Structure 1
Amino acid sequence: MVPARPSAGRWRGLAALAATAIVAVLAGCASSPPTPATAPRVSVPTAPPPQPPLGPLTGPLTHPKSRWVPADWSELPGVQDDAMHEAWIVLMANCQRPNAVMAPLCQELRRLSIGTPEEQRAFLLERLQPYRVEALDGQPQGLLTSYYEPVFEASRTPTSAFAVPLYQTPAGWVPRRPWFTRQQIDTLPEAQAALRGREIAWLADPVDALMLHIQGSGRLQITEADGSRRTVRLAFAGTNEQPYRSVQQWLASQGVSPIGRWPEDVKDWARQNPQRVQQMLWSNPRYVFFREEPLTELDAAFGPRGAQGVPLTAGRSIAVDRDSIPYGTPVWLATSGPVAQLSRLVVAQDTGSAILGAVRADFFAGTGAEAGRFAARMKQPLRLWALWPRGVDPSGAF
């Protein structure tokens, strides 16, 4: 879960594709508008509707794992520079399943999907109040990591080349109840019996399977039994509810040099130490089960569905600790470091077992190898501002 920064052109390309696709399926839209390249100029009123009073902003609001401190928009770095056409993609996607406080804004968000960047930015500044997210002790700085959706070759049937299974949830599995560890799944007859017949597909490399377990979802380019090929999505279905342990930390404890390229360096180590591969894999007891989903052309423009139930948007969706920030909350993210300089609007749409704490986020980088290289390197200081509708008390969000 834990690459050089993707080029601006890549983000813009995905944004353009996604913008064209998403408007066709959003609830409440009567028809599909033209693509951005051909859309006629439409005059959108710039005057916002009358605003409710902001209410007193006299001090921080305490939540289970964070406190929100009222802030001025001028405190947020890069507010005037963010690409509104990209930000609007994730805001519109968020309206597929908004939280209760964002839902009343969705009609105006849809209307402004054909507005100018200036109109869109003015709407955000008028309608949303920033709150600086801090730890309970007042610390405003946290940690940003990144994750992505890997793509692997797979076989529908086991072969000498494809012998590593990926499973659906096992027989007798109960959500949120601990099940066998990774080592027990590989060695105990009763665990193997519960998984028999639950195989979705087979991979060639156990490190690739581990990557899918760490990321929680992915795409498979499958060769079917009849020789045909198609791409499917593996979505997260559940876990064995065992603790997550970092394989990289285990390798470091064994005296292995720091992993610079993930997973390439791990695969190199595995080839040089085949007798220790199982020990490495078993160092992480957590095991993930999947469900197969079809992948349409529209689906392919977005990532998998996050915990909010909304398809993730590359470069604009984050995973958070929901005891710090509720799902569906727009967030201003700022990070500076050797991997990327980012100041942008994102939306809290997912979670993860390692994403814990007040100022903590996992940045969804997208799909494929380039996104994977970015995600593998991202580990930088982070600051967050929750963007909450004006006039709505955020203390009732938890």
Structure 2
Amino acid sequence: MAVRVFHVLASLALMMVVSRAALPPERYWNAVLPNTRMPKSLVDLLKSDFMDDDDKSTSVTVGKGGVNVDAGKPRGGGSHVDVGKGGVHVDTGKPGGGGTHVSVGGGGHYSGGGGVGVHTGKPGKRTDVGVGKGGVTVHTRHKGKPVYVGVKPGPNPFVYNYAAKESQLHDDPNVAMFFLEKDLRPGQDMTVRFGRTDDGYGGGAVFLPRGVSETVPFGSERFSEVLNRFGVEPGSDEAKMMKKTVEECEGRGISGEEKYCATSLESMVDFCVSKLGKDRVRAISTEVEKENRPMQKYAISAGGAKKVSESDNLVVCHKQKFPFTVYYCHKTRATSAYVVPLEGADGTRVKAVVVCHKDTSAWNPNHLAFKVLHVEPGTVPICHFLPQDNVVWFKN
């Protein structure tokens, strides 16, 4: 219950100072897509790992001092919201600094002397969001050390107009993601690792509510301001990776591609609905039985691949490397999606999502897929697995 309470209360607090009022992300999804199940990959990006699920009660008190909401456990656990002369304070957590705190007004530590402050987690292992006169700041800390993007810059294999570097053929785990459609048959072996976009690089990026994400400048013209907001040093690997994400979002797509970078769950929903409509829409992601499995050999299980969509009824959203969650979503021509059951050498079962492109004639001739598979653009259908945090949207 704590997760849900926090998101609702924190969103309400944030919206007191953010110009655009909106539903919390989960409620927005349910309002627009009431019959569509949210994939676990997206659910995970909406919640904090540092919050408890077993809060016992919720109480609301209105008195001279303002409003107090208490959703929690005895001995200091749970969630607390105070609205009074000093503004709003939300506390979801444990004694000793754990949990989540939201303050509006009153010059709280995370509100920059005014505005809104959100603090999630224990000291030395937390996420802070501040909305004040200076705008929005977001910091994710682990073991006392700031963790921002934490990745080495490099091309995104799911952007089809870039040329691969020679080094990628040797040290890029995405090499194993590409294969030919003819290989989608029971018993076929493939060596691959199913992870998340930011595995091994610090991670920690979560969705910001749209009302907050829209106050963060996202573009080349104000890139120095973006770095300043997140405390990233210009010229660092983090800065280069952030710049790469922004450039990919701003760049032209290939012929026949309709693309959009979503900086919130709500904006992702809006884009996909604009392309597919609201009726009979599904969203799926790769599901792995055991997390953090190493690269190993997987075999396609009996029954084989099941095609779930093709042609113009498909949108794929790829998670980008950025301090908060950003998705590169695109709709392309002549594309099919499959769900493929796999079993790893260690017994791990995977329900993998695969996207196959029938027409690759507009891709960069030096794209990673062509180098790995030794084929020419536009000659044969090329497929790739999707990481766990990527999402395929389609009409059922």
TM class by shorter-chain length? under 0.3
TM-score (norm 1): 0.23
Relative to its length, the structure with more helix (as a share) is 1
Relative to its length, the structure with more strand (as a share) is 2
TM-score (norm 2): 0.23
